[in-house]
């Protein structure tokens, strides 16, 4: 039985879809009201949102690892925000909410992507339902899925990060704003129906893009970029990348191919916020999963 759901936006202050959906829901709380559970909303990083910046001191969505939360020496603005959020939503061992929906946008061509907090059967069934309801929805499971991670969504095993894009940082896109809100309502309706013993039918299988590795840009000895995403790969998130296919283009015009042995499906290609993290893209493999029954 789901009793409390948290809709979180503005974990990154310049991802305005989440920021302004939270503001909308604060203004019109009846939109999130369902009969069988409570929904709360949270603007995760208000100072960064007010400054239209991803973060003030460090990435809030990398502040939720257990060791960091327990470290009193970490006192940046985002570290303090993380501890305040855990006090409101967590802790992991006794969460105050059952489901977290963390709203994000990306500069990569990710469309509508669900990143589950874990491979819990509830998440997989809900993802399968949403994928059938909205065929454009894709499900991407991170390398650290089901582990102690520094991500806000990891505070509960149930829920998702919603990634939509491509959207430039600091920009509102009405199309993706509406589609994200539509997904939120579909999720809340599904939970409400499930609580009442009438879960909507969902497919028995689910296509998942499982992250297997991240790839950095080629760099010179000084750590500066030596190449950029090849134009034949740009904007082709979730499309197959074959061994030997163009991957990077050096500033001298040389094509650097993908040197792996297997077909992969890159995501978060050329994400603007990942330059500082040394990530040019995340490689995934496509899996067909059978949805497990109730635990």
**75 part of a folded domain:** yes
- Do residues 59 and 199 share a domain? yes
Predicted TM-score (pTM) of the model is: 0.96
Q: Are the C-beta atoms of residues 291 and 203 closer than 8 Å to each other?
A: yes
Domain boundary among 172, 207, 242: 207
Same domain, 193 and 216: no
Structural domain includes residue 80? yes
Is the domain of 78 the same as that of 188?
A: yes
User: Which residue range forms the structural domain that includes residue 31?
Assistant: 4-207
Quote the pLDDT of residue 46: 98
- The residue from 177, 207, 237 where one domain ends is 207
- Domain for residue 293, yes or no? no
Return phi, psi of residue 159, to 5°.
Answer: 130, -175
127 and 238 in a single domain? The answer is: no
| Claim to verify: residue 129 and residue 173 sit in the same structural domain | yes
pLDDT value, residue 295: 42
Domain count, the chain: 2
Same domain, 10 and 83: yes
pLDDT of residue 292: 80
Taking residue 63's Cβ as centre, other Cβ atoms within 10 Å add up to 25
Query: Both 152 and 80 in a single domain?
Result: yes
- d(C-alpha 9, C-alpha 42), whole Å: 6
In order of 85, 97, 136, 192, the CA distances from 200 in angstroms are 32, 23, 19, 10
On whether residue 139 sits in a domain, the answer given is yes
Let me know whether 156 and 35 are in one domain. Answer: yes
Q: Is residue 132 part of a domain?
A: yes
pLDDT attached to residue 143: 63
Q: What is the CATH number for 271?
A: 2.20.25.160
pLDDT in tens, the chain (295 residues): 999 999 999 999 999 999 999 999 999 999 999 999 999 999 999 999 999 999 999 999 999 999 999 999 999 999 999 999 999 998 999 999 999 999 999 999 999 999 999 999 999 999 999 999 999 999 999 865 555 689 999 999 999 999 999 999 999 999 999 999 999 999 999 999 999 999 999 999 999 999 999 999 999 999 999 999 999 999 999 999 999 999 999 999 999 999 999 999 999 999 999 999 999 999 999 999 999 875 4
Judge whether 288 lies within some domain: no
Contact 279, 215 (CB under 8 A): yes
Q: Which of 186, 207, 228 is the last residue of a domain?
A: 207
37 and 146 within one domain: yes
> Is residue 39 assigned to a domain?
yes
Question: Cα–Cα distance between 153 and 140 in angstroms, integer?
Answer: 14
- Statement to judge: residues 203 and 216 lie in one domain: no
One domain for residues 99 and 242:
no
Residue count of the chain, please give it. Answer: 295
Can you read off the two tokens belonging to residue 145? 């899925």
In a domain, 126, yes or no: yes
CATH number of residue 8's parent domain: 3.40.630.10
The answer on 236 and 176 residing in a single domain is no
């Amino acid at each position: 039985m789901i009793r409390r759901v948290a809709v979180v936006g503005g974990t990154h202050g310049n991802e305005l879809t989440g920021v302004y959906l939270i503001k909308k829901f604060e203004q019109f709380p009846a939109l999130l009201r369902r009969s069988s559970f409570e929904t709360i909303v949270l603007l995760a990083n208000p100072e960064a949102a007010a400054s239209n910046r991803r973060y003030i001191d460090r990435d809030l969505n990398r502040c939720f690892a257990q060791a960091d939360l327990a470290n009193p020496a970490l006192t940046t603005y985002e570290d303090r925000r993380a501890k305040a959020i855990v006090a409101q939503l967590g802790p992991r061992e006794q969460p105050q909410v059952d489901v977290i929906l963390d709203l994000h946008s990306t500069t990569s061509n990710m469309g509508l992507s669900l990143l589950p907090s874990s491979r819990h059967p509830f998440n997989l069934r809900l993802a399968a339902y949403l994928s059938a309801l909205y065929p454009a929805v894709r499900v991407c499971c991170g390398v650290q899925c089901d582990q102690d991670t520094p991500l806000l969504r990891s505070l509960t095993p149930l829920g998702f990060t919603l990634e939509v894009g491509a959207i430039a940082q600091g920009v509102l896109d009405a199309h993706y704003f509406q589609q994200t809100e539509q997904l939120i309502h579909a999720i809340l309706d599904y939970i409400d129906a499930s609580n009442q013993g009438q879960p909507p039918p969902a497919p028995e299988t689910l296509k998942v893009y499982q992250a297997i590795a991240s790839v950095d840009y080629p760099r010179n000895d000084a750590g500066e970029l030596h190449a950029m995403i090849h134009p034949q790969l740009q904007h082709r998130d979730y499309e197959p990348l074959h061994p030997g296919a163009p991957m990077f283009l050096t500033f001298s015009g040389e094509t650097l191919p993908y040197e792996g042995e297997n077909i992969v499906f890159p995501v978060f290609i050329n994400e603007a916020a990942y330059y500082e993290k040394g990530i040019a893209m995340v490689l995934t493999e496509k899996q067909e999963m059978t949805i497990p029954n109730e635990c």
